[in-house]
Amino acid sequence: MFSFIRSVVLLSLLAIVFGSLIGCGGNESAIDDKKNADVKNVSVDQAKFITIEDAHTFLPSWSKENILVYNIVNEPDELHPTNGILASRSEIMAYTQVYIVGVDFQTLSLRPIAVKSMPLISENGKEYTYEVRNDIKFDDGSVLSVEDIIFTLKVNSCPLTNNPSAKTYLENLVDVVADKNNPNVFKIIMKEKYIQNIQFLTEYPIMQRTFFDPGNVFSKYTFAQFSDKKFNADEHKELNTWSTAFNSSKYGRDPKYTVGAGAYRLEKWDAGQAIVLVKKENHWTKENTKMYYSAFPDKIIFKLNKEPNSQMLEFKAQTFDASTSLSNKTLLELQSDTNFNANYNSKFTDTYNYGFIAMNMKPDGIKNKKLFVDKKVRRAMALLVPLEDINRIANKNRNKRVVGPVSILKSEYNSDLKLLPFDMEGAKKLLDEAGWKDSDGDNIRDKMIDGEKVKMEFALSFFNSSIEWQDLAKMISEQMYKAGVVAVMNPLDPSSAYEQATNHTFDMLIASWAGNVLPEDYTQIWHTSSWASKGSNFAGFGNAQSDALIDSIKYTLDAEKVIPMLKRFQAIVYDEQPYIFMFAGLRRNIIHKRFGNQEMYFERPGVWLSNLRLLSGGSSMKLSASPN
């Protein structure tokens, strides 16, 4: 499923407790397909992650080539260090870049990466002191430094950097100060206590200052200047020249410029085909076999294939080694094949993602008509989407419906809000009440708006990444037409969809948000400021009340206080209906048994590819003459 990334943050002073860690699933032999063929979803309520035992035999049909081919259904928008929003971008960059902190998939908490430990926090909760590790090196051998971290955060804060969605997380940042006595120590100073004061750092790969800014342009500017609304970046010619070059596509696609301190580098990007990462020789992690630093595959190939029949053929031919993005239907069909189960481990697991259909609440009225400005109309649209039928037909009843922007796996999910039924007559009544009626007998509802007769006809945009998206849009369009509503199917590539969404030039958009276990700052998607800045508030949702709640939630660290606020916020979203909320995401995990160290996570990306170790030749393996 195509996903955007959404804010993922942690209440750093709260303990988040989940069920006991257990090992589930997996086969104990190379041919134990009955255990391997999953018939139930595995939930985070049952385990924090799933460990699968290494295969005991290495079948003759298994490749001994230490290249891991991972199936993707969407290319990233780019691999730029600051610019981009697609989930596939961040998942690939996790192997090529180094971040200050990250999420531990096993413990469901934050972990230090470029720093020696989690920060020392001041008594007022606004200053965070870190010490940089001294063993992380860039490709030219230079050691990652405090200067690189300060430069990275400055570039992301710069008003000329084309990263509007990421800037939301920097609004609370005051300064980053190098310690005068210890060159490896730095302090991040924040305006307020904030749920994102540590974990916002998971969003920004550390850039090498000498590579990206050899002229040291950014040393002339401060965080205070970039946060000052009176600062006119256009008056600074040198900064403009640098930013124009930096925002170019070469830093997002050209292997010579997509550099980082991660264990892998971009070898090539064949647009529409594959993205190839190759393990660096003599990398600083070379002798480190710990999970997050190991780099077992010599190459990781992210191969694009979004057509279900072709995907199944590739898995049956063992061309692919792993995937987390097949449709439910496709994986279920594969799991019915004995040979597939002999070669692969596969499971369905819950995720913190959700699917939605966004409606443009604030169109310009010219290019995009004022169709969804009335919440009665938006609620009518929700009643016209046959979600139960969609789940039964397209998802084989695997997915769980959601009512709002909070994951059903979280304690703050508002279970008092009821799922909306499919209700054709109820939708017609609401449309009538909102003044949308068929005045000319053409079976399409219309209404006079600003002196113009406007038909209830619009583009239903969806992603051209798979047939499932098209089937979903078709089912929705067919039901809406029965109510006198014309939803014209409009398949788009991800980049075009994102451009329309941020520029507010869409009518209705089907997509999904990718999230995780950590509590969120809802500013990015739901605050009115994020609509005005062309951030991720695509629909144009929000008012003074919802903004005040969002602002309070992100500065409240007391769970007893924040949960009631979160539930009120969900109730407002539910009432205003900016989205038609669909289903909680379901990850379809597949890993070839020729690789060991297999674990499946509820956190994105679901599988940590660089830790998968080819089993061929291992001391614990014995070669089998046949699957039996």
Burial class (CB in 10 A: 0-12, 13-18, 19+), 112: middle
Please name the residue that has the structure tokens 């950014």. Answer: 218
Task: Report CA-CA distances (Å) from 272 to 77, 265, 336.
Answer: 12, 19, 30
Instruction: State residue 306 phi and psi, 5-degree precision.
Output: -115, 5
- Res 600: pLDDT: 94
Query: 230: which residues sit within 8 A by CB, 6+ positions away?
Result: none
- Res 559: pLDDT: 81
Q: Would you say 154 and 100 are in contact if contact means Cβ atoms under 8 Å apart? A: no
Instruction: Count each helix (H run) and each strand (E run) in the chain, helices first.
Output: 20, 25
- Res 30: pLDDT: 28
Whether the pTM exceeds 0.85: the reply is no
- Res 194: pLDDT: 86
Cis, bond preceding 605 (omega within 30 deg of 0)? yes
Scored b (16 or more CB within 10 A) or e, 320-354 reads bbbbbbbbbbbbbbbbebeebbbbbbbbbbbbbbb
What are the tens digits of pLDDT across the range 290-321? 899 999 999 999 999 999 999 999 999 999 99
| 373 membership: H or E segment, kind and range | none
Residue 35: count other Cβ atoms within 10 Å of its Cβ.
13
Question: Helix axis angle, 559-576 relative to 544-554, nearest 10°?
Answer: 150
What is the CATH number that goes with domain 4-74+258-349+586-623?
3.40.190.10
Residue 124: count other Cβ atoms within 10 Å of its Cβ.
9
CA distance 202 to 513: 17
Instruction: State residue 391 phi and psi, 5-degree precision.
Output: -65, -40
Q: Would you say 574 and 403 are in contact if contact means Cβ atoms under 8 Å apart? A: yes
What are the tens digits of pLDDT across the range 439-498? 999 999 999 999 999 999 999 999 887 777 888 999 999 999 999 999 999 999 888 998
- Res 518: pLDDT: 76
- Where the chain has pLDDT below 50, the residues are 1-37, 39, 618-628
- Res 38: pLDDT: 52
What are the tens digits of pLDDT across the range 118-159? 999 999 999 999 999 999 999 999 999 999 999 999 999 999
Residue 82 tokens read as: 């600051």
What is the CATH number that goes with domain 87-253?
3.90.76.10
Boundaries of CATH 3.90.76.10 in the chain?
Answer: 87-253
What are the tens digits of pLDDT across the range 343-388? 999 999 888 889 999 999 999 999 999 999 999 999 999 999 999 9
Q: Would you say 485 and 384 are in contact if contact means Cβ atoms under 8 Å apart? A: yes
CA distance 131 to 129: 7
Q: What is the per-residue DSSP string for 380-421?
A: HHHHTS-HHHHHHHTSTT-S-B-SSSS-TTSTT--TTSPPPP
CA proximity to 565, closest of 575, 578, 550: 550
Boundaries of CATH 3.40.190.10 in the chain?
Answer: 4-74+258-349+586-623
- Res 617: pLDDT: 56
